[in-house]
Structure 1
């Protein structure tokens, strides 16, 4: 559900102006010699709130500068920094730039209008907050010297630019090919002229075969040129995997350090090239898998040594090309998946009966982690554990990248995820089939085989048709019934065959197969894939469109969605027997000293059917929690009167709140803060910089289930 971001930007601007005013007054008081600890703490809270609120609205330049200012005030609050004219000068510079950014934002209500963050000023603030022997002198110098705007802003996400750098020799090759195409086209036009002359005169029988042969040769030559031109143009869109892999290795080092773990990251195959469109969509699933490996897979040094492993863990990011495909492996040598914990989680959520779980293979149990909202982690953090990450990865790989993801894990040895992806989404191998008079397409990566069987070979399994293919039961569905196509009579040459035999297109997705009954196979060829317009992006049945030689548009069916339709059809009868009861809305308490943050969270939660009560600090939250019963509590950490850690600990002392879900949503991202969140009793710990409304709602669903 979309938020009206401009409404929240306006609230942020009003709130930020108040904070900047308090900061300016406080810095002036410090400059005059006032050193009241509570006043310094109040300044720190204002900077902290600015950072957190701007982070939720993705105002990165404001977030970065507020963060640096907060660090400086934190050091000052702890008595580790001597207040000098240079330090106050830095704080004034920061406030001036924050004020300028705020006015830019007020004039446009568009985050894109913000100037790039002043890296030199942020660096000076950070160095002053962590002073070496000469930090004060450096602060003095920076305070007196205008800072320069950096050429580019470093962001936490792995993103590529909207441009592709092309080598000159590739452009030369493309221009050369275009010249040959133009020349070939001129030859074809000449042949058209000859055909017109032959039509107007009595062409001899010997002239016509020569003309036809020449025309055929020219058309074949044109086809070869067009194919080469297309291949060259596609090659220009190719980018190396290093664009994703290199930032990912830095991410691994940073996250490992924050988690207190020692990890070596090895990279292979970073020079393999993928289509730009693939590179753009690959970063997020790679980040999810890396975070999962660091958070859940690789153990702490003490745990590894106790298990007779090297203290340093190993994380491998490897790519290899296989024809028109690339396989990407993300593997760790950690503790592996706990299959018993996965079974227990599935049982507690009533996803399967004990008998069904007992009959599952280890591979089937491992694949349960791809279910929405599934997580065995006891603590939910912004890194992993919300139960939404692996579901997101699977959707990204299968739906967005038209690929396949597989999983292998060994207890005590580690886990390996394998992503099999096409090199490009622009052109793919397509099978064209006819069903009930309609021409439809399937991309080849989802097609296992095409078989024709006598109908007598079909068997009834759980009230469904199925066939046995190499000792494997494969369900059978008529494609026309599955997608609700109107029934039409087959052509005479196919009607007799269809009475006795079935033509089955066997599709495959990971470990799952589905046989679709079709009327006939028309063709198999490489075709250019046209993506659906953005306003049709949620139409999940269609993966794209292709154009045939007769300029006929053909829909490409999305096999993962067809399999989902089959599962729904299979369980429809059972689901209709489930009684529907009116459940009261869960009551939530949101505690945050930032009005903007409280309003954002309330709008999100109320849109999803929750009843929300707001509290402006920890003490206010405690009073409201004791006055009435809530089903869950969401709290910030840094607040006046009572912070979120204290609030959580106090609530856990109350009998009514010993088992109530408590979620901490904060700007604090240090591992020590996460550990403290666990110690005081939080069930989830989410950093505002990673805030996502769907993730928050999914987290609540997991905890309230």
Structure 2
């Protein structure tokens, strides 16, 4: 069935208008000498987005004009040309040409009705990008002064043709958004009534405890009725908010359908044979999410086609079908949607990533040596990273995976992860909330202050005695289910001053530590907080414009009595915790004078690997990391290590099997192998010794000095 792209034109018009408006403001600042890197990057990204979206809809004049504009902005970004008056004039003409084309689409959404591209303007833009003499540009004969046309934004009608006109009503999207926002505020502010109910119940109990006599039965009945009424109202308001939000929900097919056409068109232009499979396109997301999701999906698909899927000849030579496969799938998981974009292409070359990271000085050789394969893969999310040997029209000019990650993590409050097997393909998983209008939030008290965390970053909340903390490489950690997890005090991490007792919501109590365990991908961080205040669905408010340069704060929420509370951004907190790590106070002389030994650390927990690495590096050892037994075996056999430290419970291959396999290799038949595990049973200890381990350390009694002393004895 042929794809009717006209139904997507309205969305493109709305998106393009926003980008062109931003470009107009940006060019005004550029012309006045405010051409900083971020401003030029913003102009470049807007042109890049318009180019990509228009290509999907076969809007050829728009695509070619935006591409030429992107050429010149790329040259500006790379400082090959300067923002001279002539260059600014050309940029303005390019934006005006795009504006004219977009307004033509408003009058007539047929792509075939667009005026031909202004080739003279495109040539002038390209010439300026190549530092050639600026060409004067005459207005195209078909160009007209753009009119200001007010087009109503409408909610997408249901596709059921049986609906009669009287069954539907069109409203402006802005009015619907005002309604949803208002409903969210009502739901959030209703929390104040719950607090009043709790206060009434406490007064009731206090009166009885203080022996003031039996309170009137009418008072007891009043408090019960009040509580039941408030609960009933909460349920009704939540249902009303959900119904209002459903009116703004749109199916993922709006993103998936044009994306599948893009795959076919790009494959044809690259001379590749590709099948595009789609599943879960009927799942719905908030319109606000849909609008921001298209660009990351398009970028991932372009990368899959340009760098992932091989040519038919190359695939046949590898024993693969000549036709490649790209899959887009979605599934709903409670209040979340998981999108998966995968291909069966060449996969991601770890060596290419390592080489590019070193070449661009994103990491040092020493840092690269200690990284696991997954950590190396995650380097593609760093700004400016690209493994492409050359810049192409399809894969862009440095609009890399960092932009995709920023869109998903910062813009959509989601999580992106990547998995790849060389020769078999790559898979990107995007986990997103159904809506940004309201999210589950945990409110906690730290140093007397209220702060919030969105639930998707919270793994668990646990209480444990302070004696459970262990000191590893001059920082605190705790062992949670066979995994070392770093521990930091939240107030100290973000610099919160302690409030006096009279200003605290809850009094300070002397008891066990309360740890809020946060998680991003495979990394965990335990934050020490005072109390858990509440957990509920709240409206997320954006920060004011002048505060949006604070990456630590993701937004604001309103609690009872209209109290504004900051919502902390967990990925940023983890970065802050990493930067705050101080090297161990081990004698530098010791590290320099001792012969640097090479140690292989094998553990499936990212936190455990990093902590053990920090301990060993502080004592002058050179450390390489592996994330499971098979990865450890491969690295051990491909390289030469003085000792191996391994966990037991790991996927693919456990530590016992790894130890036995290493002992079969002549090089490792007598070299130290130390098992570090949470298994305390004597039978496990015996098995460790039987397979060839030289030492067996239980994580529950882990001591960094004991580990180092054990290694020294075994190595000497």
Instruction: Say what the alpha-carbon RMSD is for the aligned residues.
Output: 4.6
Asked if structure 1 preserves the Cα contact closer than 8 Å seen for 2:517 and 2:526, the reply is yes
Work out which of the residue numbers 398, 401, 406 in structure 2 matches 1:390: 401
Q: Which residue is equivalent to 1:164? A: 155
Report the counterpart of residue 603 of structure 1 in structure 2: none
Q: Does 1:423 align with 2:434?
A: yes
Give the counterpart of 2:456 among 445, 449, 452. Answer: 445
Match of 2:376 in 1: 365
- Secondary structure at the aligned position of 1:538 is classed as coil
C-alpha contact 1:239 1:279 (8 A) present in aligned 2: yes
Where does 1:318-357 land on structure 2 (aligned, <5 Å)?
318-354=329-365, 356-357=367-368
Provide closer, same or farther for how the CA distance between residues 289 and 572 of structure 1 changes in structure 2, counting only shifts above 3 A.
Answer: farther
Give the 3 Å change call, closer, same or farther, for CA 287–66 of structure 1 in structure 2.
closer
Return the offset for 1:502. 1.9
2:510 is aligned to: 496
CA distance in 2, matches of 1:290, 1:57: 14
**Residue from 524, 538, 541 that aligns with 1:527:** 538
Report which stretch shifted further, 422-431 or 219-228: 219-228
| 2:272 is the alignment partner of 1:261 | yes
1:698 maps to none
1:572 shift after superposition: 10
| CA distance in structure 2 between the aligned counterparts of 1:334 and 1:295, rounded to whole angstroms | 10
Alignment pair present for 1:552 and 2:563: yes
- SS state of the match for residue 481, structure 1? helix
Quick check: 208-217 or 326-335, which moved more?
208-217
What CA distance in whole angstroms lies between the structure 1 residues aligned with 2:438 and 2:420?
34
Instruction: Name 2:410's counterpart in structure 1.
Output: 399
Q: Map of 1:242-641 to 2, 5 A cutoff?
A: 242-354=253-365, 356-384=367-395, 388-488=399-499, 494-497=508-511, 501-570=512-581
Task: Check whether the contact 1:482–1:566 (CA below 8 A) recurs between aligned residues.
Answer: yes
Q: CA deviation at 1:460?
A: 2.2
Deviation at 1:214, TM superposition (A): 3.7
1:275 Cα deviation after fit: 0.9
Secondary structure at 1:550 match in 2: helix
Q: Deviations over 1:441-495 (max 9, x none)?
A: 1011000111222222222223222222222222111111111111246689644
1:143-169 deviation per Cα after TM superposition (whole angstroms, max 9, x unaligned): xxxx999xxxxxxxxxx9954236687
Answer whether contact 1:460 1:466 (CA < 8 A) is retained. yes
Tell me if structure 1 keeps the 8 A contact 2:474–2:584: no
Note the C-alpha offset of 1:265: 0.8
Is 1:116–2:110 an aligned residue pair? no
1:5 lines up with 2:32 in the alignment: no
CA contact (8 A) 1:403 1:421 kept: yes
Measured at CA, do residues 518 and 211 of structure 1 come closer, stay the same or move farther in structure 2, by a change above 3 Å?
closer
Query: 215, 220, 233: which is aligned to 2:244?
Result: 233
Does the Cα contact within 8 Å between 2:104 and 2:114 map onto a contact in 1? no
Change in Cα spacing, 1:7 to 1:460, as seen in structure 2 (3 Å) is closer
- Paired residue for 2:61, among 64, 77, 85? 64
Could you tell me how far apart the structure 1 residues matched to 2:29 and 2:564 are?
A: 42
Distance 2:417 2:544 in 1: 30
Whether the aligned pair in 2 keeps the contact of 1:466 and 1:474 (CA below 8 Å) is: yes
Q: TM-score, normalised by structure 1?
A: 0.56
Task: Tell me, in whole angstroms, the C-alpha distance in 2 between the residues paired with 1:366 and 1:56.
Answer: 25
The alpha carbon displacement at 1:289 in A equals 0.7
Contact 1:409 1:416 in 2 (8 A): yes
Q: Distance in 1 between matches of 2:346 and 2:49?
A: 37
Task: Output the CA distance in 1 between the equivalents of 2:287 and 2:112.
Answer: 33
Deviation at 1:571, TM superposition (A): 6.8
How far has the Cα of 1:400 moved from its partner? 1.1
Counterpart for residue 40 of structure 1 = none
In 2, Cα distance between the equivalents of 1:532 and 1:169?
39
* CA separation of 1:447 and 1:8: change in aligned 2, threshold 3 A: closer
Aligned partners of 2:448 and 2:379: how far apart in 1? 39
SS in 2 for 1:496: coil
CA-to-partner distance for each residue in 1:650-675, whole Å, 9 max, x for gaps?
Answer: xxxxxxxxxxxxxxxxxxxxxxxxxx
TM-score normalised per structure 2: 0.55
Task: For 1:368 and 1:556, locate their aligned partners in 2 and report how far apart those are by CA, in whole Å.
Answer: 27
Deviation at 1:315, TM superposition (A): 0.2
How far did 1:519 drift? 0.8
- Distance across 1 between alignment mates of 2:49 and 2:294: 22
Q: Deviation string for 1:289-341 (max 9, x for gaps)?
A: 11111111101111111111111110000001111111100000001111122
How many pairs are equivalent?
447
CA shift in 2, pair 1:57/1:405, >3 Å: closer
- Contact residue 373 and residue 386 of structure 1 kept, 8 A: no
Query: 1:304–1:529: structure 2 CA closer, same or farther, 3 Å change rule?
Result: same
Provide the rounded CA distance (Å) in 1 between the counterparts of 2:432 and 2:546.
25
Where do 5+ consecutive residues of structure 2 fail to align?
A: 1-21, 33-43, 68-88, 119-141, 145-150, 159-165, 171-175, 194-214, 586-716
Give the whole-Å Cα distance in 2 for the aligned partners of 1:163 and 1:362.
48
2:274 touches 2:323 (CA, 8 Å); kept in 1? yes
Aligned 8 A contact 1:505 1:516 in 2: yes
